[in-house]
Amino acid sequence: MKILLDCVPCFARQALDAVMEAVEDPAQREPILRRLLHQIADGDWSGSPPAMAQRLHRSIRQELNNPDPYRAIKDRMNAIALELVPAMRQRIDTHPDPREAAVRVAIGGNLLDVGAKTQIAAEELPAHLETIWSHPLRGDLEGLFLAAERAHSILFLADNAGEIYFDRLLIERLPTEKITVFMRGSPVLNDATIVDAESAGLPELAPVFDNGSDAPGTILDDCSADFQAWFERADLIIAKGQGNYETLSEVNKNIYFLFTVKCQLVADRVGEPVGSLVVKAGRLGGEDSQ
């Protein structure tokens, strides 16, 4: 998915968010934001939106001389998720369709993001998370589980910290013996890396590796040769989060994208409104591959 002019104000907003969240000293924020705006103005607008975000966050880490300015936020997201896991697991187990419930939880894990950023009181978050049960869930749920059944090798591409705890609940419902989980190669934004996967206990279920890239998405050319080989060999990719959709939606591969629609441009593209929980088959996924 290519950057459109409409993405540009959103980059400015992302730069502001990053500055407000990652830069502790208020006096540092304005000069850094000005430099990030220049960077957006001079940037390469021919790639995908996460490619721009990757460059912005590299700059922020350099400016702050801090390799992981979101570590505290990620820890908070993980802690919130850890507390919620037992209730979520119970909701899944007692749901009329536990597989649908597990997908809702995994996609809805995205909302922990908001909780962590605004520091929603712990007691309010469950009410906030209730929306994952009422938001429309669109797409080919059956196709996803059928594809997982048929596949020999499945790559699960993770998204954010916190959310990774909820991903685990979905992975438990999939044929775990076929699954390899890939995390971002190094910290970017609040995206999950190996340490988050370990904190969620994922290695107990499946091998966990990193993709070698610091993009908040999966830019294949930017990933390690190892990851590219895994990606090539796998016959099913399950990709979490809008960033993975933005970077992989045009790849000819059997991919299921699981994400919350967060912007109008993506909404237009997938044909579902902002806020929808989506299970979207990629170019060679679902009916296209029949």
- Scanning residues 43 to 72, which ones bind a copy of itself (CB under 8 A)? 45
User: For residues 26 and 86, which CB has a smaller minimum distance to a copy of itself in the complex?
Assistant: 26
Is residue 52 within 8 Å of 11, Cβ to Cβ? yes
User: For residues 40 and 205, which CB has a smaller minimum distance to a copy of itself in the complex?
Assistant: 40
Q: What are phi and psi of 208, to 5 degrees?
A: -125, 130
Smallest separation (angstroms) from a copy of itself to the CB of 53: 14
Which residue in 24, 28, 35, 142 binds a copy of itself (CB under 8 A)?
35
Which residue in 2, 28, 34, 142 binds a copy of itself (CB under 8 A)?
34
> What distance in Å separates the CA atoms of residue 283 and residue 235, rounded to the nearest whole number?
13
> What distance in Å separates the CA atoms of residue 258 and residue 15, rounded to the nearest whole number?
25
Residue 257: enclosing H or E segment and its boundaries?
strand 255-260
Q: Is 22 in the site for a copy of itself (CB under 8 A)?
A: no
Q: Which residue has the tokens 């591959």?
A: 289
> What distance in Å separates the CA atoms of residue 264 and residue 103, rounded to the nearest whole number?
23
35-43, 81-89, 104-112, 122-130 -> range binding a copy of itself (CB under 8 A): 35-43
Smallest separation (angstroms) from a copy of itself to the CB of 227: 33
- Scanning residues 199 to 258, which ones bind a copy of itself (CB under 8 A)? none
Q: Is 38 in the site for a copy of itself (CB under 8 A)?
A: yes
Q: Is 268 in the site for a copy of itself (CB under 8 A)?
A: no
Is residue 56 within 8 Å of 37, Cβ to Cβ? no
Please provide the size of the chain in residues.
290
Which residue in 2, 9, 131, 288 binds a copy of itself (CB under 8 A)?
9
**Contacts with a copy of itself: how many residues (CB under 8 A)?**
23
Task: Return the structure tokens found at 31.
Answer: 């000069």
Q: Which residue has the tokens 């070698």?
A: 212
Q: Is 114 in the site for a copy of itself (CB under 8 A)?
A: no
DSSP states along 135-167: S-EEE-HHHHHHHHHH-S-EEEE--BTTHHHHH
As beta bridge partners, residue 155 has 180, 237
For residue 186, is it left (φ>0), alpha (ψ between -120 and 50) or beta?
beta
Which residue in 1, 18, 22, 40 binds a copy of itself (CB under 8 A)?
40
- Scanning residues 174 to 203, which ones bind a copy of itself (CB under 8 A)? none
Q: Is 30 in the site for a copy of itself (CB under 8 A)?
A: yes
User: For residues 4 and 122, which CB has a smaller minimum distance to a copy of itself in the complex?
Assistant: 4
Q: Is 2 in the site for a copy of itself (CB under 8 A)?
A: no
Binding site residues, a copy of itself, CB under 8 A = 5-6, 8-13, 15-16, 19-20, 29-30, 33-35, 37-38, 40-42, 45
